Structure 1
Amino acid sequence: MSFRTVVLGPKVYETAAEFDPIRWLDKALISLCSRFGDFQKDSPPTFSLSARLSIFPQFMFHLRRSQFVQVFNNSPDETAYFRLILNRENVTNSVVMIQPSLISYSFHARPEPALLDVAAIAADRILLLDSYFTVVIFHGATIAQWRKAGYHNQPEHLAFAQLLQAPHDDADAIVKDRFSVPRLVICDQHGSQARFLLAKLNPSATYNSDAPLSGGDVLFTDDVSFEVFMDHLQRLAVQ
């Protein structure tokens, strides 16, 4: 039987070739929740975690979907590079690699953090995604139409010009201070480059689920959402 080295976080595991990192992560998470969760046996609705651990399953959900575990569509060299950078960087940068930050810009509020969910997409909103290796500026459908019409070049629409410029200024600051330099992607809703954002979002609305809110979006994926992931985790943890 052939063997290979699998790198996950700070530890190196020498295992058989058929090692499945996703299954290993799932078993470790179920074991942790069974040990530290508060629940009544065989009753998933009673399951809960302490405040210190409450967001850990969400972090693991994004780790399972990250380029460190999912090697599809990445060359072996790319996968090795991603894992090398993960082990080299500090905790703050490593967290951003696994669970990217998402900032929302709109006329109605100051820039604010948004949930890493497809529900964050809106026609009148701009999103700034920082996944460490890629920085994405995503324009909602209405914002993109106004920009293409040139409204930001008209003096009476100064507020719109400022709204368009704000995420670019923040993205430039991120790119300037980071090494290696991340890829900057500027895209519009329903455009081909929007995939760089959509691939990182929780697929709470997909092609086979309920319709999204007006102006929102859906993900064409068979990946389970975080809500489904948590339902299965709770059911297995209380057994």
Structure 2
Amino acid sequence: MTSPDPKTGERSASIYRMVMPGHICPYGVKARWLLKRHGYDVDDHWLKTRAETDAFKAQHDVKTTPQIVIDGQRIGGHDDLRRYLGLKVKDPNATSYVPVLTVFAVAALLALAVNWLTFLPLLSFMTLERFVAIAMMLLAMLKLQDVDRFATMFLNYDLLARRLPPYGLVYPFLELGAGVLMLTRTLDWLSIPVALFIGGIGAVSVFQAVYVEKRDLKCACVGGSSTVPLGFVSLTENVMMIAMALWMVAGIGH
């Protein structure tokens, strides 16, 4: 336990965290950094073995480490410390558009980079084409990290996947393949119908679930652990594929 230094008035804190040969608790590192950043003199106690950690938990009747004590008061763990310091604590279940917006931002940067390397104007119709194709590939990559989890989440709203569950397992590969072919403008006769097929079914499915049935769901567009709400952004992914395919059809006609 700690208390303010009577001479300097310096704030002090103690932290009890796991520092073992095979494991260093990341939340303990983060908590120690927060304390120092906020001007605390930190008394850093290492729990060097599993037995020592379990004994500490039993003695203080706590379930997790690290544990932080400030001026004689046990604050709790890393999240409790953030609350104590008036900092925001992230809700892991909160809805967020950050994942999909990140995909679109990276896709835009990659499209610009490819144009730069191929000596094309940075802003042109080709930039937009490449952006859509790259975004499809990136979204497919996120789904492919755990195809089964994506397919399970996909079943919540996709009309074809409900009737034919294996479609959810194939979908990321179709999206990736169509994106690659569209980026390279290879085998348009294959990429265009694939994009129209998966994009069309996806658009109808999202519209049905969100705007007709008014269901509150998470979108599987960035993988099976997504917190992105099913709605406008999800619809955008499918509309982009349809628009890209129709654009390419118009281009072939010329």
Q: Is TM > 0.5 for Structure 1 vs Structure 2?
A: no
Structure with the largest fraction of strand: 1
Could you state the TM-score of these two structures normalised by the residue count of structure 2? 0.24
Report the TM-score when normalising by structure 1.
0.25
Higher relative contact order (CA 8 A, sep 6+): 1
Instruction: Give the number of the structure whose alpha-carbon radius of gyration is greater.
Output: 2
Structure 1 or 2: more helix by fraction: 2
